[in-house]
Structure 1
């Protein structure tokens, strides 16, 4: 993320177009970053060649690209809906680029099957997500780039999946460990020629990134409410037969409930209120809340979640330190509005957590939504002090409810 994948790819495509090596390119990306692609392609000198398909009424753009050549920008949803038209027009695609390619990591997903039907000469997958640990995700991505490179599904299971999965057990026999290491080595040697990875060390060495990241792991103690809910869920899971009656559905729903409790107990009540929540997880959340004698916390409660409480305290402390800087420093920072500002990024797994931070922030922030309604970036600017900006970013492109 933020290492220039879009710019690099746009420049590469521009070179191919101006060298008259290619004539037709299709770029598929989440709706939230299509505008970013348009901007980067324009910087690369391809503005006049870009055409969008964002709705059914835009399908004439395909005819223009097929007839005159150019770049077609569309979303995963639009392609999946109209893949029979887009996958094989009268002319073969020279290049197909999938941005946020982890969208096709599920081998059985409908979107993955639709993408694999594309007829093209070259394919590029782009993702800021690290190489997944799930071998099936790797298989799905590689099978799109180079079908059959890892064999069919049965061959992949026999040669890679089973020995590698078996090798993760602590009581592994010596022979199994050797087979595990060999399978890992074979898998990596097979896929590595198709990978081009860029990390921040490249930017640091080139001088484009002057700062270094320092990772600090902080263990937080659960609040009393979180402990109460967590212990009760554990007790219900191990002692109540109703959890065992549908054993196949338990792992995912229990994991979702444990995660909700650790993130913010208010999520349990949100599960009950949300029409999109599954029936099973709603039932389990309802049983849990009924068995625990606690009142529904107010939406602006800052003490029900150890994570939110810590984040807000940390931001508050950083803001306090910034405000207490010598006057000469702050005046120099203010300047003409172009001085250095304290910028804080908070990455959230869910949009809901960002909504919570907006409501319960102890410092009064002015909330500003960017012009693009689908943007994953939300900026908060303090109304009375121009030296601090807080950015809230969702891990997944397009957001996650």
Structure 2
């Protein structure tokens, strides 16, 4: 266990192997494109007044780049004087764009239709040779004629120019390589552009009979088969639901929707399918519904959205503009036909006035919409001022804490659909919350249940929620461990000292509660994070840096075993940057290559870090991830293991973080590790999480709840049991021996007098809680090492693990 040197005196100071904080991933610079404008040592001075041997070409140009598919900028006129080794590029108005001198005479003399030349930092492709008359009038394709051989002769022979270019009839790109045939024609304009009768065609619903129609000519809207062939059944239903909401078919007074699918179900692909469909089609005479879309997302996901559009549609079909460090929002104002604008919430707030002045949107998409749970923040306030009724909010956790936050998100898509804030509070929130309190009367429970049913009926019109159960058959297996570690001797000493100094003051002054909680959590993470040095005996002072903190010792063993076993990568998540610093020092000490993504990582670099980590041939072994900066939306399927070093009070944050690895595209079985120091406040946080999941599943499951800290709760919160293996297991009243054979057994039924408080909230009977809460833990394997075998080689021979809860998902399908 002792693989590092002895720590500094006291055991609480930073380790000897501490190094500066690692920098972000290096910026990838593009390779320079080919060039032909290499001047000679003594280039002759061209006679600009002489036009002898001058040739004119119509051309297109772009900036030099190494990319395969060029992004051509504009039409241009190319003037070539081969005898003078000179080429001049002008725009259609006659303004000079670039000039190249000292070029190769044979290259200039032999320029022909379809050839390319590079000079002045621009790459030019020849379209056709022009006469002097056409050149004088500007580039007009109707007047372009081939140059005759009787014109001024050149000193070098050149092939005869083709007299004209024959163009093939235009075909919609999405029809290449598909069985769908073009159906639209002038004789029958009511036929959709894709065959609605073709196999696997995804046809959107027609307007209801009583819907207020823009015209009588109704056309079937069929999703582009280029996209629909990739949609799974639940995604097809999602696209259809969003379409009905946005078009107002669900409710003519509402044109917004909330897609609240759990993480990993493909909300991005469903949204892209809807945007592309509405941009190209519409039910009324086939007229497109939208022209421009605004997508708001956390800064770490801006580039990810741009990449998803390119992945599913390609650069040829749609143009997107992602506002980041290299692309400024003011550049978007110059593009009159820009269909999709992607930016972060912060950039939206900063540029709101200019956006209101220069741009107008037909659809707004808010990714990770739970960021709008406060209607007083700038983003929510500004969105309320934007003149756009069609809105979509994407979030995997629509309800995190209370119904007030849920109301704020609803107002983003459909303002006042459930009334004003005061009306919502009096009609829905207060009755529902009161009905969930332990002291609620039977009448209050009935009133609350009635209010909940009415609210559910209202919101089901524009909210769609599916769980990961519907996609689990497409994913590999997932095994989740909750690993409990007994605190080290130093942690016990410091924890007891902290509780002693706190005394019972928290019962009188609640302002000290938060600070005390943070201090106790730092001790659980590692003693070195605390400023106060304890007086230690000699045996404690000689502990290695890892031995001073039990969770750090577990991570050190886990990384060593994992590195020894093979090439699997791991993501380490924490809510604290101090913990990420500690993990970085550990990786540096043992030469584990790692990357880091936190709030200090620039927007441009975040996607670079993700792509580098996901690279199958990459050398990076560990990704250190801040749950605040990168816990939502990122795709980290390059790793097959994820470790949550500390837990958040809000279970939604941990669920979001765990979903970064177990999602579409993952090929390996996934293992999730959640760490907690037994008998401490970390176990109380875990217990509150599972209680909140069970009782506060929220409106999506037909129930909601509100928790408050009572004095009894606070007393239990600051209790400490240093010698317990797992306090949570004791609360379950499970009689198992820790061998893992408890799965499938029923909990022991106890009388009402015998029921214990489940740490936070009311007394809870495990037999009455659903599978997401306390009762759900009874279906997990309870493992007491060494009796209980963990079944994971990476966890072998780790003595600091005192107890483990294990749950396996999708094992039958994975082994089939």
For 2:451 and 2:439, the matched residues in 1 are separated by 18
Structure number with higher helix proportion? 1
Task: Spell out, residue by residue over 1:316-339, the C-alpha distance to the aligned partner (whole angstroms, 9 max, x if none).
Answer: 33444x25xxxxxxxxxxxxxxxx
Matching residue within 287, 290, 293 for 1:25 = 293
**1:104 positional shift:** 1.4
Matching residue within 25, 46, 49 for 2:319 = 49
Q: Is the 8 A contact 1:378 1:392 kept in 2?
A: no
Task: Spell out, residue by residue over 1:136-190, the C-alpha distance to the aligned partner (whole angstroms, 9 max, x if none).
Answer: 2211111111111232222222223223333343333322333333333333333
Matched, 1:302 2:564: no
**1:83 positional shift:** 1.6
| Aligned residue in 2 for 1:187 | 455
Matching residue within 354, 362, 381 for 1:113 = 381
* Comparing 369-378 and 224-233, the one that deviates more: 369-378
Matches within 5 A, 1:238-253: 238-239=503-504, 247=509, 249-253=511-515
| Aligned residue in 2 for 1:218 | 483
Matching residue within 550, 555, 560 for 1:311 = 555
Normalised by the size of structure 1, how large is the TM-score? 0.73
Q: Is the 8 A contact 2:293 2:339 kept in 1?
A: yes
| Aligned residue in 1 for 2:351 | 82
Matches within 5 A, 1:68-217: 68-86=337-355, 88-89=356-357, 92-129=360-397, 131-205=399-473, 207=474, 209=475, 211-217=476-482
**1:398 positional shift:** 4.3
Distance 1:357 1:96, change over 3 A: same
For 2:348 and 2:269, the matched residues in 1 are separated by 23
Matching residue within 594, 598, 602 for 1:367 = 594
| Aligned residue in 2 for 1:357 | 583
| Aligned residue in 1 for 2:307 | 39
- Which structure 1 segments of 5+ residues have no match? 270-288, 324-340
Distance 1:354 1:57, change over 3 A: closer
Distance 1:23 1:294, change over 3 A: farther
Aligned partner of residue 171 in structure 1, secondary structure = coil
For 2:272 and 2:620, the matched residues in 1 are separated by 33
| Aligned residue in 1 for 2:519 | 257
Matched, 1:63 2:347: no
| Aligned residue in 2 for 1:329 | none
For 1:220 and 1:186, the matched residues in 2 are separated by 46
Distance 1:377 1:55, change over 3 A: closer
* Comparing 113-122 and 385-394, the one that deviates more: 385-394
**1:258 positional shift:** 3.3
Q: Is the 8 A contact 1:223 1:306 kept in 2?
A: yes
**1:254 positional shift:** 3.5
Distance 1:63 1:191, change over 3 A: same
Distance 1:305 1:122, change over 3 A: farther
**1:99 positional shift:** 1.4
Distance 1:390 1:259, change over 3 A: same
Matched, 1:14 2:248: no
| Aligned residue in 2 for 1:281 | none
Q: Is the 8 A contact 2:297 2:367 kept in 1?
A: yes
- Which structure 2 segments of 5+ residues have no match? 1-262, 282-287, 633-816
**1:251 positional shift:** 4.1
Aligned partner of residue 447 in structure 2, secondary structure = helix
Over alpha carbons, which structure has the higher Rg? 2
Aligned partner of residue 374 in structure 1, secondary structure = helix
Distance 1:307 1:342, change over 3 A: same
Matching residue within 390, 395, 401 for 2:627 = 395
For 2:590 and 2:291, the matched residues in 1 are separated by 53
Distance 1:369 1:350, change over 3 A: closer
Distance 1:344 1:311, change over 3 A: same
Task: Spell out, residue by residue over 1:110-136, the C-alpha distance to the aligned partner (whole angstroms, 9 max, x if none).
Answer: 333223322213111122446323222
For 2:295 and 2:504, the matched residues in 1 are separated by 52
| Aligned residue in 2 for 1:279 | none
Distance 1:113 1:386, change over 3 A: closer
For 1:73 and 1:217, the matched residues in 2 are separated by 38
For 2:385 and 2:571, the matched residues in 1 are separated by 39
Distance 1:252 1:368, change over 3 A: closer
Task: Spell out, residue by residue over 1:226-281, the C-alpha distance to the aligned partner (whole angstroms, 9 max, x if none).
Answer: 3333333333334459x96xx46434433333333333343434xxxxxxxxxxxx
For 1:319 and 1:263, the matched residues in 2 are separated by 23
Matched, 1:229 2:504: no
Distance 1:57 1:44, change over 3 A: closer
Distance 1:100 1:55, change over 3 A: same
For 1:397 and 1:8, the matched residues in 2 are separated by 24
Normalised by the size of structure 2, how large is the TM-score? 0.38
